[in-house]
Structure 1
Amino acid sequence: MPVVTLYRRLQGRLRGRLPAVEPTPKTALIRADASPLQAQRETLDVVCALLAEAAVPYFCVRPLPDRPPVVAVPEEDRDRALAALAAGVHPLFAARQPYGRPGARAQADAGRMRPVRRAAPLLGDARVVRLAMYFASPSRTLTLGPESGLDLEFWAREGDDLVGPRPNPACDRVPAGGPVAEGGEELFLPLACPARRARAYRTRPEFLRRLLDDIDFPIDAVYTWVDGADPAWRARRDQAQREEARRVGGPLSEMATTEARFTSRDELRYSLRSLLMYAPWINRIWIVTDGQTPPWLDTTHPMVSVVDHKEIFTDPSVLPVFNSHAIETQLHHIEGLSEHFLYFNDDFFLGRPLAPRTFFEGNGITRFFPSTVHVPFGLPETEESPVHAAGMNNRRILEDLSGRTITQKLKHVPYALRRSLMYEIEERFAAEFQATARSRFRTSRDISVVSSLAHYYGYLSGRAVPGQVDYTYVDLSLPKTPARLRRMLARRRHDVFCLNDTSPTDDEQDALLARFLEAYFPTPAPFER
C-alpha cells in the first residue's frame, strides 16, 4: 500500500491568539477516491473483518445524527477484540478514548490517536473507543483521520441482555444470544446513498426497523450552469439584449447583464466534487443549460444528466432566456426529477460532511436558512437590484395570501425543494410564474421562486421549517480574499460557502481560485472525463 508521511500543523485559539504548535507527523494511506465516506467505509470494513477473523462477536449499531459508524462488542470480549485489532492492523490503525472516565495516564492521552498496540493499555475501562485510519488524497491537500473513523462500543451484560454504553436511535439493549442479521450500509454509514447500496454489515434485527425520522426517500440535485465564453451562446445573448433594449426603449439594468453573472471559472466541476465528497447520499444530478455541456463531463454516466432549457420550459417560444429567475420557475418540469431535491448555483460549495437531515425531515418537510439581510421596503419598480425587487414581489404575493410579511432574504446555500409544492405554487400564482418565465433578462417584475417564494410558502402551509447551517460568503474581488481562502482551506469548518464576485476579476485572482478549489476538492467525481 502506498503511504506518505504528512505533517499537519495543529492550531487552536486561546484568548484571541493563535499559538503555533509543532507539526505532528501523520502517516496516511493515499487514496485516489479519498473522501469521508471512503474513509469510514474502509475503516468499518477493516474492523469488521478483523473481529470476524478472530471469532469476536460483534454487530453494527445505528449511530446518532452527526456521529460516526458504531460497532458493538460484548464487554466480556473486550480484551479479545482489542487484541485482534492490535495484532491484525498496520501502524496506521489508531485508537483513542473519547468517552468514559480515564485514569491518570489515559487523561493525559485523551483526544490523541495512538496505534492500537500502544493505545490499548491507556484505554482503562472506557466503554467507547474511537478507531481511525489516516487517509490522504494524492495531492496531500485532503487528509482524513479520527473525524472519519468509527466508534467501538463495549456492551455490558445484564441478565440475558447486552446493554449499550450510550444512546442510539433504535434501542439500548438486545438479547445476548439473539439472532444476527444483515443490514444495508446506509443504516450504519450516514453518508451512504440508499439507492446505491454497496454492501451489507452484520447487525441485530432491532437495528433494521424503519424509524420515524429516517430519510430513505431519494434526493436529487439540480444545477443551473452557463459558459459565458461560448461564442454561440454570446451571440444569442447579445441579439436578445439588443431586441429587449429596443422593446423597452432603452438600455437594460447593468446588474441584469453584467459579465460577472455569466462567467464560468470551472466552478461547476468543483461544486460537483464538493457534493460527491460531502453529500454522497445524493441520488441523481441534473445540470440545466442553454444548449451547452461542460467539456470535461461524461454525459453517459448514469448519475448525471444535462437538461436543455427547451426540455423544461412550458412555453419554448420565450427562449432563449438569460435570466436565472426565469429558468428557476421551470426546474420542477425536469422529466424524472425526484420529489425531493436540492437546487445549487455553480458557486455553492459544501465545506464538510452534511447529512440529509440538514435539508429535510424524515416526513419530507424541507428546511430553509434565513439570512440576516433584509428585503428592503419600498416599490420594486424603483429598486436597482433585481434580486431585491424579486424579494419585494414575493412579499406582496405572500401578504395578499396570508396577511404576513417576509423581511429576510435566505442564505446563498443549497435550497431544499419539493417538486409537488413547486407545481402547486405554479398553478396558484400562474400569472406571476408566466411573466417571470417570459422575462429574458432580470427585471423589477420578476419573482424569485426557488430562493425565496417556495420556502416561505412552504412555511406558511406547514411544509417547511427554518434550519441552521454554518455558512460564509466570499467576494473573490476583495484584497483580503487570498488570506481568507488560506484559512478556509486549513480549517474546513464551514458547512457551505459561496465564492462569488461583485466585479470582474483578473487573471491572478482567477488562478488563486483555481488553486484553492483543486486543493479543497482534489477527488474527481466519477463522471469527469
Structure 2
Amino acid sequence: MPVATFYRRLRRRLPLTRPAPGTALIRPDASPLQARRETLDLVCSILSDAGVPFFCVRPLQVRPPIVAVPEEERTRALTALARSGRPLHAGPVRFRGVPKVTPLRRASRLREDVRVVRVAMYFASPSHTLVLGPEHGCDLEFWARDGDMLAAPRPNRACDMVPADAEPVPGGEELFNTLVPAVRRTRTYPTRPEFLRRLIDDIDFPIDAVYTWVDGSDPEWRARRDRALAAESAGRPDLRISAQATCEARFTSRDELRYSLRSLMMHAPWVNHVWIVTDGQVPAWLDTSHPMVSVVDHKEIFTDPSVLPVFNSHAIETQLHHIDGLAEFFLYLNDDFFLGRPMPPSLFFEGNGVTRFFPSTAHVPFGDPQAQESPVHAAGMNNRRIIEELCGRTLTQKLKHAPYALRRSLLYELEERFPAEFAATARNKFRTSSDISVVSSLAHYYGYLSGRAVPGYVEYTYVDLSLRKTPAKLRRMLARRKHDAFCLNDTAPTTPEQDELLRRFLEAYFPTPAPFELT
C-alpha cells in the first residue's frame, strides 16, 4: 500500500486538523528547522524592505524565534506582511497551546491590545504525511515605549527593556532558534547588544550522537555469530547465556537506523556529529563521505581487540568513550529510538555540563541474577551491587528507552574505578547474567550521586511491535505526534505484515531524508 493511501486511511480513522488544500508549500527538506528558518527569514525580509525597524529577541526554550517591533510601528508591520503576497497566517499568542491562525490579509481583525502575534506558513513534505504549521512559525512582539526605553510584552531569556534608539547589531542564528547548534553558525540577524551576552545556562558546547547498529540479515555476520556461539558453548560450559541474548528479534534490522537518523536530524538538528558503531558493516544507503557522519568499527574502540567479535550490546557500550574524536558531551541511541518532535539540547544537558536522565516506573528486581535472568534485569542488579558498595544507596528504577545524555570523561572515570567489571563485560561475546549496563544505567546513577547528573522528564512511549494493539497505537502516534521520544522494540519475532506496517509508519512519520542519505 502506498504511503499516501495509508495516511488517507489513517486520517479517516483519526481526523486531523490540516490546512486547506493549496495553502501548504511543498518542501523536499520539510522539517521544524526548515519551517522556522524560512518563516523568520521571510518576516525579517518583508519588514526590512518596508523600512519597519525590528530586532530579534532570545526566546525561552519552548518558544519559536521572536521578532520585536516598536508598538507604534504595529500597523505598518502588519500591513507590510499582509500585502507581501506570501501565504502568511497570523493569530494572537495565548499562554498555552498552539495559536490559531488565519490568513494574514485578515490582520485587521487582530485586536489592538494583542501584543504578541504568531506569524506562520504551512509547509508539507512531498508525501503530505508531514505538515508543519503555526507551531513552527515566528512570534511578532510589539514592544511598548516607556520614556526612552522599549518594554517587552512578556518574559524572554535576557532582559525586559532595551534603549529605544539604540542601533541594531548582528547576532548569530543560534541565539534566536533553539534548534540551531551554537557551534555551527550559518547566518545572522539584527538584534540588540543585550541579547548577545553569554548566559549562565547557554549550551554552547558541541554535542555528538552515537549509535550502535547491526544488520542481522548479513550472512557473513550471522556466520560469525553462529561460530562464536558454538565456541562459547563448548569452551565455557559454565557461562550463563540468557536465551533472550540470542533471540533473532535482537538482531533484526528493518532499516530502523535510517529513520532514527531522520528523526534525529529533524528534531535535534543541533547535533554536531553522528558516530555509527558497527561490526564491519555499513548501511547501503549511507553516504560515508559526508562530513557529519562517521562509521566506527569495533576494532577501533575495544581496548582489547582480541575479545572480538562480540555480539553483546553491553560489551560494546563499555567501549563507546574510546571513539577517537568523540565530543565530551554526547547522546547515545539504539537504532530503535526515535525523536517524535523538536527537542532542545536543554532537555538533555544543563549549561554547566550536568546531564539529564529519564527514570522509568519499571523496577529492577531485587535479588541476585540467575542463569536465565533477563539480561536487562541482570545488568541492573549488577549495577545496583556496584552502587551499594560504593555509597550505600540502592538503585531500584530502570531508565526509559530514550536517548541517553553522557559525558565522555565520566565514562573514563568509571572505567578506571571499576576496571574488572568493564573488562569482564567487554569480553562477554553474548549477554550474560554477569554483565553491567554502563551507558543505559550505571553512568547516570553514578553521575547523579557524584553531582554530575539529574533526573529529567521526557514525554515518552514504548511500542512492542509484536502486540496486537500496536497498529492502532501507531495510528494514534502518527496522528497526534505528541511524544518527545519513543522506542519501537520487538520482544518476539514479527510477521511480514507487522514489518510492512512499521515501514509505512516510519516513512510517514519521517519522510525527510537525512543529509547523509544516498539518493
Q: What is the aligned counterpart of 1:232 among 200, 205, 220?
A: 220
2-structure distance, mates of 1:65, 1:278? 14
Contact 1:472–1:494 (CA<8 Å) still a contact in 2?
yes
Q: What is the aligned counterpart of 2:206 among 193, 218, 224?
A: 218
1-structure distance, mates of 2:28, 2:140? 27
2-structure distance, mates of 1:221, 1:22? 34
Secondary structure of the residue aligned to 1:380 is coil
Secondary structure of the residue aligned to 2:435 is coil
Single out whichever of 112-121 and 160-169 deviates more from structure 2.
112-121
Change (3 A) 1:321 1:202: same
AA partner of residue 150 (structure 1) = C
Matched, 1:95 2:90: yes
AA partner of residue 91 (structure 2) = R
- State the partner residue of 1:457: 446
Secondary structure of the residue aligned to 2:29 is coil
Q: What is the aligned counterpart of 2:182 among 194, 202, 205?
A: 194
Change (3 A) 1:395 1:183: same
Give 1:252 deviation, angstroms: 3.8
Aligned residue pairs total 507
Give 1:65 deviation, angstroms: 1.2
Give 1:23 deviation, angstroms: 7.1
Secondary structure of the residue aligned to 2:501 is helix
Q: What is the aligned counterpart of 1:73 among 69, 78, 83?
A: 69
Unmatched 5+ stretches in structure 1: 1-6, 12-17, 101-109
Contact 1:8–1:24 (CA<8 Å) still a contact in 2?
no
AA partner of residue 207 (structure 1) = F
Q: What is the aligned counterpart of 1:512 among 489, 493, 501?
A: 501
- State the partner residue of 1:33: 29
Secondary structure of the residue aligned to 2:316 is helix
Secondary structure of the residue aligned to 1:441 is coil
Unmatched 5+ stretches in structure 2: 1-6
AA partner of residue 421 (structure 2) = E
Change (3 A) 1:136 1:23: closer
- Consecutive aligned runs of 4 or more in structure 1 exceeding 6 Å deviation: 7-11, 18-23
- State the partner residue of 1:422: 411
Secondary structure of the residue aligned to 2:60 is coil
Secondary structure of the residue aligned to 2:20 is strand
- State the partner residue of 1:342: 331
Secondary structure of the residue aligned to 2:220 is helix
Give 1:198 deviation, angstroms: 1.7
- State the partner residue of 2:304: 315
Give 1:114 deviation, angstroms: 1.1
Contact 1:8–1:23 (CA<8 Å) still a contact in 2?
no
- State the partner residue of 2:143: 155
Secondary structure of the residue aligned to 1:381 is coil
Give 1:374 deviation, angstroms: 0.5
AA partner of residue 98 (structure 1) = V
AA partner of residue 96 (structure 1) = G
The one-character-per-residue Cα deviations of 1:335-381 (angstroms, maximum 9, x if unpaired) are 00000000000000000000000000000000000001000001113
Give 1:120 deviation, angstroms: 2.8
Secondary structure of the residue aligned to 1:388 is helix
1-structure distance, mates of 2:466, 2:78? 53
Single out whichever of 490-499 and 241-250 deviates more from structure 2.
241-250
- State the partner residue of 1:521: 510
1-structure distance, mates of 2:17, 2:411? 54
Say what the alpha-carbon RMSD is for the aligned residues: 1.9
Single out whichever of 143-152 and 114-123 deviates more from structure 2.
114-123
AA partner of residue 198 (structure 2) = R
Contact 1:70–1:152 (CA<8 Å) still a contact in 2?
yes
1-structure distance, mates of 2:156, 2:488? 38
TM (norm. structure 1) is 0.93
The one-character-per-residue Cα deviations of 1:259-293 (angstroms, maximum 9, x if unpaired) are 11111000000000000000000000000000000
The one-character-per-residue Cα deviations of 1:468-506 (angstroms, maximum 9, x if unpaired) are 001100011111111110110000000000001110011
1-structure distance, mates of 2:241, 2:419? 25
Contact 1:383–1:389 (CA<8 Å) still a contact in 2?
no
Contact 2:242–2:433 (CA<8 Å) still a contact in 1?
no
2-structure distance, mates of 1:8, 1:62? 39
AA partner of residue 284 (structure 1) = H
